[in-house]
Amino acid sequence: MGVTGTLTHPWPTPSSPGRPDPALRRELATWARFDPHPLRHAAHGWAALAADLDRAADEVATRARDLTEHWTGAGARAAQARLRTHVDALDRAAPPARRTAQLLSHHLAGLAALQQRARDLLAGDPDTVTEADCAAVLLRLRELDRQTAAAIRANQPPLGLAAPVDRTSVAAQRGRRPDQVRDWWLSLTAAQREQTIRDHADLIGWLDGVSAADRDRANRLVLARRLVALREREADLVARLDPLALGLRMVLAPWASLPATGLLLAELAQVRQELAGLRTAQAQLDRFGERALLLGIAGGGDGRAVIALGDPDHARHTAVFVPGVGTDLADLPGGLDHVDHLQRAADRLTGDPADVATVYWLGYDAPGATEALSWDASRAGGVALTAFVDGLRATHDPTPAHLTLVGHSYGSTVVAEAALAGGLRADDLVAAGSPGMHTAHAADLHLDPRHVWGGVAPDDRIGGDLGSLPFVHGEEPTDPAFGGNRYTVDTRGHSGYWDEHSTSLANQAAIVVGRYDLVRYVFGAPPETAPGLGRVGGVLGAAGLPSMTGVTGMAGVTGVTGMTGRR
C-alpha cells in the first residue's frame, strides 16, 4: 500500500480524553500496515550513488595526477585543470547523495518506532486507549514525514553554482544568537554548506546553531587535519633535536644552542601532549562508531571536546553531561562511559529506538584542584553552556524535546551559573557529587524547584565535606534547606554515580526521559509525570499542539526522494 494525499478527518487535539473515533483507529491501522520497503530501497540506492561518486572522483583525481608524468606543456595543464573541474563537481555531488541516504535511514528508524507504537495502541484495551494517544502518534508521523521531506528538498544540490562562502562571512556568525546562525546556515545552498565545511571547518565546528551532523563533519576534518600537522611537527622537532644536528649547532653557534634546544624540547612536549589528547578523542570516536557525533574539538592546553551519543537534533530526550575539576582529553574514555550508560538506561524507558541522546560537554576550561575554589571557570563555562543549549534548541526538529543538564562535581557549578544568569532553556537540572550551586535556594535557578535534583554518595567527600564548607560554592543541592529533590544514590565514591545497574543511574535515566514516577528519592516533591511521557505521543500531548486537520501521508517523503533504488 502507499498512503498519499491529505487526510481531512478532524482529529482531536492530542490532549483530549475519550475513546478513539473509529475512523481514527482505521487511519492508525493504515499506518501500522505501511510497507517501508520502497523507502529502504531508495536509501540503499542513494548510499550506493554516493559511493559511486566518491570512487569516480578518486579515479579522475588519480588520472589527473598521473597525467603530468607522461605529458607536459600548456595542453597538459589545460587538460589537468579540466579534470580538476570534474573532480570538484563529483565532490560536490557526493555529499548530498550521502545525506539523502542518511535522512531516509533516520526516517525509517522513526517510522518503525511509530508503527510499533500504533500496533501497541491497536492491540491495547479500548477502554484505556484514548483519542489523545492515537492522535499524538498520527501527529508525530506527520511531523516526521514533513521534516524528512523538507530536509531532503533543502539537501538537493542547486542547478547552478552559488558563490563560495568566504571566511569573513563565517566569522561574522560568531556572537550571533544560535537561531540566527541556524537561519543563515539553512539559507546557504547544499553546495555552499559543503564548501564552507571544507574550507572553514575550524569555524563551523564550534558554531552553535549549525546542525549536529554538519558540526560533526566539520570537527572530524579539524581533528584529522590537526593530527597530520602535529605528527609532521613532531617529526620535524625530533629531527632538529637529533644528537648529530645538536652537535653541529654547538660547534657553529655554542652561545645560542642551549636556549634554542630548551625551546625545542618544550615545544616537543606540548606537541606530544596535544597529540596524545587528540589521539584519545579519535580512539573514542572509533570506539562508538556511528553513534558518536563530534560537536567540538580543540587540543590546546588541557583540550576541549563535545561528543554526542545519538543525534540531539532528532532525539526527544537529550541529556548534557558537564564534567568537573581537572578534566582533560585523557579523561574522555571514562566520561563517555558515563554518558553511554546514561543513554542506554534512559533509552530502555522509552518505546522508541534512538529516542535519547546524551552529550559529553567539555566545552569549558575545567579548573585544576588549586583553582577549584574559584567561581571564575564556572561563570565562563556557564556562558558557553547556555549558548550550546540554545544551539540544541535552535537545530532540533519541530517536535517537542525534553532537555536535562547533568553536572558532576564542579560541573554542577557550571550548570548553576548558567541557570542563575537566567535564560537557560533546560527542563531539568541534575547534580551529582556537587560541592554547591552558588546559591542557597533552588528557586534562584529560574526553574521550578521540583525539576532540580541532587544526589550524593555517602562516602563522597567532594559533595559532602567540601560542600559543607561555608562561603565556597553555596548550599549543597542535597540539603533539605536547598529546596530541591534528592534522589537515592547507592554507589560509592565521587565518580560512581553512573555505574551500570545502579539505582543512581536508574534515577537519572528516569529524570532524563521525564518519568518522574520512577525516581526513587530521599526527599522532595517531584513533578507529576505527564500522561504517556517517555512514550511516543506523551510529550506531544503535554505540549498542547493544535488539532490535526490535514495530516499528510507518505507522499511528503516519497515525493522528494526522486529515486526508488535504481542506480
- Spatial neighbors of 166 by CB under 8 A, at least 6 apart, are none
Asked whether residue 253 falls in the same domain as residue 133, the answer is no
Q: Which residue has the cell 573541474?
A: 85
Q: Whole-angstrom Cα distance, residue 265 to residue 396? A: 47
Residue 452: what pLDDT?
Answer: 96
Q: In what order do the strands lie in the sheet with 452-455?
A: 292-298, 304-309, 356-362, 317-322, 402-408, 428-432, 452-455, 485-487, 521-523
Q: In one letter, which amino acid is 159?
A: L
The answer to the question of residue 288 being in a domain is: no
- Residue 30's contacts (CB-CB under 8 Å, 6 or more residues apart) are 1, 3
Q: What are the cell numbers at 553?
A: 501521508
For strand 292-298 and strand 304-309, is the pairing parallel, antiparallel, or unpaired? antiparallel
- Cα 322 from chain centroid (whole Å): 14
Same domain, 174 and 151: no
pLDDT digits over 297-349, tens only?
999 888 999 999 999 999 999 999 999 988 999 999 999 999 999 999 999 99
Please give the pLDDT value at position 264. 87
In a domain, 557, yes or no: no
Distance CA 515, CA 530 (A): 8
221 and 142 belong to one structural domain: no
Quick check: 514 and 317 in contact, CB under 8 A?
yes
Domain identity same for 199 and 348: no
- Domain membership of residue 437 (yes or no) is yes
Q: Is residue 84 part of a domain?
A: yes
Same domain, 482 and 453: yes
Q: Output the pLDDT for position 555.
A: 45
Q: Do both 140 and 204 map to the same domain?
A: no
Number of domains the chain contains: 3
Residue 285 included in any domain:
no
Calpha distance 551→23 (Å, rounded): 14
CATH of the domain at 530: 3.40.50.1820
- DSSP annotation of 404: E
Examine the fold and report which residue of 157, 184, 213 is the final residue of a domain before the chain moves on: 157
**φ/ψ of residue 312, rounded to 5:** -65, -15
Q: What is the pLDDT of residue 98?
A: 87
Residue 475 in domain: yes
DSSP classification of residue 210: B
- Sequence-separated (6 or more) residues with CB below 8 Å from residue 553: 2, 3, 4, 5, 6, 7, 145
Task: Verify that 258 and 395 share a domain, yes or no.
Answer: no
N residues, the chain: 567
CATH number for position 106: 1.20.1260
107 and 222: one domain?
A: no
Distance CA 477, CA 474 (A): 9
Residues 112 and 75 in one domain: yes
The domain of 259 spans: 167-272
The neighbouring-strand residues paired with 328 are none
Instruction: Please give the pLDDT value at position 561.
Output: 46
Residues 26-48: pLDDT tens digits?
888 888 888 888 888 888 899 89
Q: Are 323 and 335 in contact (CB under 8 A)?
A: yes
* Single residue among 111, 129, 157 that ends a domain in this structure: 157
Same domain for 508 and 443? yes
Alpha carbon of residue 529 to chain centroid: 26
Contact 56, 40 (CB under 8 A): no
In a domain, 552, yes or no: no
118 plus 193 within the same structural domain = no
Per-residue pLDDT, 319: 98
Do 176 and 40 share a structural domain? no
Low-confidence ranges of the chain (pLDDT < 70): 1-20, 67-70, 72-78, 80-81, 157-162, 243-259, 369-373, 375, 463-473, 529-567
Q: Which three cell numbers stand for residue 452?
A: 532540580
pLDDT of residue 372: 63
Q: Could you tell me the sign of the dihedral formed by the alpha carbons of 168, 171, 173, 176, in that order?
A: negative
Q: Indicate the burial class of 563 (C-beta count within 10 angstroms; 0-12, 13-18, 19 or more).
A: middle
User: Which of 339-361 are b and which e, b meaning 16 or more Cβ less than 10 Å from the residue's Cβ?
Assistant: bbbbbebbbebbbbebbbbbbbb
Distance (Å, whole) CA 180 – CA 164? 20
Chosen domain end from 157, 183, 198: 157
Q: What is the pLDDT of residue 260?
A: 72
The model's pLDDT over 235-284, given as tens digits with 9 standing for 90+, comes to: 999 888 876 555 555 555 555 455 677 788 899 999 999 999 999 999 99
C-alpha cell at 520: 526513587
* 466 domain residue, yes or no: yes
